[in-house]
Structure 1
């Protein structure tokens, strides 16, 4: 497996740029991340995703990923179903309903050939002033978040789309947005184990295909580097939480990393810390620097990530589940409206 298979990249516009298309053809990029800026309508999206899969070498399927959480973070909007935020599911606390939402969401993605959803958010939203998590979380109680995360993951993956639990080891008690700054969480490890890490343990037990790290500084692990670059944090995930799936580092263009570490240094630190795969969601220059560093790293640093990525792709990648369906999805729309309109259900 080429080292670039550990890189997922994004692009501007509604057509893949030729330089990125060339990297996909050569097997030097492992996946493409789609954003609203790439998506114009059902026909265009279906054709784009089919083109992306068609570019990949025959023996190396391409992963196509998206952030389709519900609420304020969903790249596919009408005529696809617009889902309420996951907080609503946590408030209603009906696991069967969460399962129905996850299955429906997965079906709409699979119909397009999208293999991986960077969802659900399993952060525990303990800070009411948090500018970036809020209602993206299932709630403020660890066990509630954990049980809905597990139901969501099992249902989504049962429908054939890989899930991603984020943002390890917890972005719920921050007062800053890691897109703009480097947040700091001063909790001791004991508190993390009792609160923030409970849903990640549940996600691991659910067999979640991937997790995503938070660009958050936790002095209990390391006072100098964010969790994405921190070996102690990833060791906890692999050991205490017993997780052996793919670990993605969040977008390297976010200020929490980009303002403190050059792209090549951040790449080396992340892979040496135990992160498996990296996201560069916009800039071609950053993407190319990350790729150059991946290609320069020794095999010993890459092997575990390559093994995990190969396993994820064998199970999910390549758009194999693309179905005949197309939006709108009336049954899904009724479900979304019911959840949004009825508020808190019985527990």
Structure 2
């Protein structure tokens, strides 16, 4: 079964800790490992990222390098300082497909420069549930038609720069109130709703030529009851037969509870392959032994007749074809950097009523720390530390249980929050601050629950460095 072992290696997208390629990963790449996915734990700076991806390609020129670079809140290239690119919700709010295409092309130029073959984006989910804990501002919006046109523009922009795009999270993660990193969510809607809402943006991205699609660890009973899409042959048929996608199908990370909870990653890997997944994203912080366990499970499943060898060969073939497609994209790359596009989008997206005719330079800035999801990780957010408003003055982080309204000074007050409506304690802090300082400015930097109706309420539709810089300009009174 040695040939099966080699084929099994080809369908694995592995990971490791640290900023350099470990010896075991190099050896596996030399033996045909399918690829490497980078996470925040791998990031020191951008030259290091480029060197790391070069090392991967030197070990195996046919390996796929990948990471999450959605623009906005989810970034890996800029994990330590925040993304300079406008996020999906910002772009959906502005609703200019040419601008979306330009921002995505700018992202693509950075991916190409740093040796990334496959961008795990765009997010094609329709954020139809404001309480969604994991999608939110990662989505272009709540309207499937709007989301579809921007998904297509993003695909075109990224791929024009020479890196592949991967639509996620099929068939849709927008109508959930649970995070599949931590649980197994369900989207319990009839097929008529799924086709009109969840599937429509994926169809747009496929027509735009997306190289890959990523599965979701979400149960959609109308597609297949009790089975997350990653393990659902019916979901794969929906993608292949109804939407006509014949490209690379990538799993979301198998270390997520929605996939491996109660069964383990090796078993999840076999189930995903059986359902039609081609490239298995194993998750973060893997070791040689853990990769070996997954490879052994795949070989054992083929040996036992539980996983058809033909299915494994088909999956590896799609991985190989994706490598050729990336090479073709790079050969045809025409994009140039367009950094101004993100600044323009971020400024245009901010809405609400500032209600002030004075600068807020030197304001007391309270940042309500409501936490984040694993996709976002620990990328910084808020206002630039050395920007116009703060000017080097530290921001004051407020956590649950704090009562910052008791010792506010006479300076203007700015309150920053993400997804405040999902955290009762944050809403209570805002209420108490406004009771004592009615002139305070409250800025929602996550997904807003409703339109702002009061003066002093702003929405940025994201918390990336691009959105933070735009907010800084607006609060300081220097934005055009």
TM-score of the two chains, using structure 2 as the length reference: 0.66
Distance 2:77 2:267 in 1: 34
CA distance in 2: counterparts of 1:82 and 1:295, whole angstroms: 43
Q: Is the 8 A contact 2:125 2:169 kept in 1?
A: yes
Query: What is the number of residues matched between the two proteins?
Result: 335
Unaligned runs of 5+ in 1: 324-328
**1:299 aligned to which of 309, 318, 325:** 309
Query: 1 or 2 for the larger relative contact order (CA 8 Å, sep ≥6)?
Result: 1
Instruction: State the Cα deviation string for residues 152-193 of structure 1 (Å, max 9, x = none).
Output: 112211221000000000000000000000001111111100
Choose which of 345, 348, 351 in structure 2 pairs with 1:342.
348
The answer to whether 1:310 aligns with 2:310 is: no
Q: How much does 1:319 deviate?
A: 11
Q: Where does residue 51 of structure 2 map in the other structure?
A: 47
Change (3 A) 1:286 1:190: farther
Q: How much does 1:3 deviate? A: 2.4
Q: Are the equivalent residues in 1 in contact too, given 2:129–2:175 (CA < 8 A)?
A: yes
Q: Give the drift of 1:288.
A: 2.4
How do 1:130-145 and structure 2 match up within 5 A?
130-145=132-147
What CA deviation, in whole Å up to 9, does each residue of 1:243-280 have, x standing for no partner?
10111111010011121322232122111111111111
State the SS of the aligned residue for 2:13. Answer: strand
Q: Does 1:5 align with 2:10?
A: yes
Q: Deviations over 1:24-81 (max 9, x none)?
A: 1111x2111112221212332222111111011xxx5111101000122101117795
Cα RMSD for the two superposed structures? 2.3
**Structural mapping, 1:233-248, within 5 Å:** 233-248=235-250
1:22-61 equivalence runs, <5 A: 22-27=27-32, 29-56=33-60, 61=62
> 1:146-157 counterparts in 2 under 5 A?
146-157=148-159
Change (3 A) 1:318 1:43: farther
The separation in 2 between residues aligned to 1:114 and 1:234, in whole angstroms, is 26
Counterparts of 2:348 and 2:226, CA distance in 1: 46
Equivalent residue for 2:21?
16
Distance in 1 (CA, whole Å) between partners of 2:12 and 2:149 is: 31
Distance of 2:226 and 2:208 partners within structure 1: 32
Q: Unaligned 5+ residue runs, structure 2?
A: 1-5, 303-307, 352-480
- Between 29-38 and 72-81, report the one with greater CA deviation: 72-81
